[in-house]
Amino acid sequence: MPVELLEGERETILSEVENTLQDKEKTRENLIPILQQVQKKLGYLPGLAMEKIGEALGIPAVDVFGLATFYDQFRLNPPGEHEIKVCMGTACYMTGGRIALDSFKRKLEINEGETTSDRKYSLERVACVGCCTMAPVVVVDERIEGHVTATRVDGLMLELQGEAGKEDHAEEEREEEQEGEEREEIQEEGEQEQ
């Protein structure tokens, strides 16, 4: 399920693609490095970016899309605010990586490779993060969590939602403050007029 573009995202995509293309020779050999750089900037490869890159390099968009889906590195969905990666290397699989993945799927109501519609969370499986001793491993944003069980998943989600809750709350407060200031200003203006 493709996620809809946010307001102003179209312009960002177009300008980033243009920036990347500027200092690169437009050859087929540079296609992968260009895609890598665009993904680095945008966090993912939107359809629009692939079309534009194809156009600039004289490669049909379908070819670019084929390449992007062939390689694991490229993602077609925007990353969530919190990126959750479940390790599915051999050691993690054997010790219950699948259970952790299932738990996240159940909690977030999305499948692997998808992003929640509010773009808060994205869920991915990765091949091996190289800390097999701590299996099963989950990487939440940059933090590595070892020995993850179903209850730990619940705990992690509570923690993330707690943070999000705090942020929302802080924003509300900030808004209230601003409103308050505005009101004061109006009052001051009123006083001046008097």
Partner 1 sequence: MSTVSVSESYAELKSAAEEKYNALQDTPVIMVGTASCGKAAGADKVKEAFEEEIRAKGLDARVVEVGCMGHCYAEPLAVVSKPGFPGLCYANLDEGFVKRLVDDFLINDDPCYEYAMVALEPNEVFPTFSDFPRGVYEHKIVLEHCGFIDPGDIDQYIVEGGYEALSRALEMTPEEVMEEINESGLRGRGGAGFPAAEKWEVAREAPGDVKYIIANGDEGDPGAFMDRGILESNPHLVLEGLIISAYAIGAQEAYFYIRAEYPQAVERTREAIRQAKEKGLVGPSILGSDYDLDVKIFQGSGAFICGESSALVKSMEGHMGMPEQRPPRLSISGYRGKPTVVNNVKTLGYVPHILRKGAEWFRGIGNPDSPGTVVFALVGKVNNTGLVEVPMGTTLRQLIYDVGEGIPGDKQFKAVQIGGPSGGCLPESALDIPIDFDSLREAGAMMGSGGLVVLDEDDCMVSVAHFFLDFTQKESCGKCTFCRLGTKHMLDILERITRGEEEDLKVLDHLQELAEDVRAGSLCNLGRTAPNPILTTLRYFRDEYEAHITERCCPARMCPDLITFYIEPPKCSKLCSVCVGSCPTEAIYTREDGLKAIDQEKCVKCNNCYLTCPPEYLAVVKLSPPELLEEKEGKSS
Query: What does the binding site for partner 1 look like in residue numbers (CB under 8 A)?
Result: 27-33, 35-36, 66-67, 70-74, 88-91, 93-94, 96, 99, 102-103, 106, 126-134, 137, 144, 146, 149-151, 153-154
Name which of 2 and 33 has its Cβ closer to partner 1: 33
Instruction: Look up tokens 């800390």; give the residue.
Output: 131
**Four-residue CA torsion sign, 18, 23, 28, 30:** negative
Name which of 9 and 30 has its Cβ closer to partner 1: 30
Shortest distance, CB of residue 18 to partner 1, whole angstroms? 20
Any residues with CB less than 8 A from the CB of 131 and at least 6 apart, and which? 137, 144, 146
Name which of 12 and 36 has its Cβ closer to partner 1: 36
Shortest distance, CB of residue 1 to partner 1, whole angstroms? 20
Shortest distance, CB of residue 155 to partner 1, whole angstroms? 10
Give the burial class of 100: count Cβ atoms within 10 A of its Cβ; 0-12 exposed, 13-18 middle, 19 or more buried: buried
Name which of 151 and 194 has its Cβ closer to partner 1: 151
Shortest distance, CB of residue 12 to partner 1, whole angstroms? 22
Buried b (16+ CB within 10 A) or exposed e, 29-39: eebeebbebbb
**Would you say how long the chain is, in residues?**
194
Q: Based on C-alpha coordinates, what's the Rg of the chain?
A: 22
Name which of 159 and 168 has its Cβ closer to partner 1: 159
Shortest distance, CB of residue 120 to partner 1, whole angstroms? 20
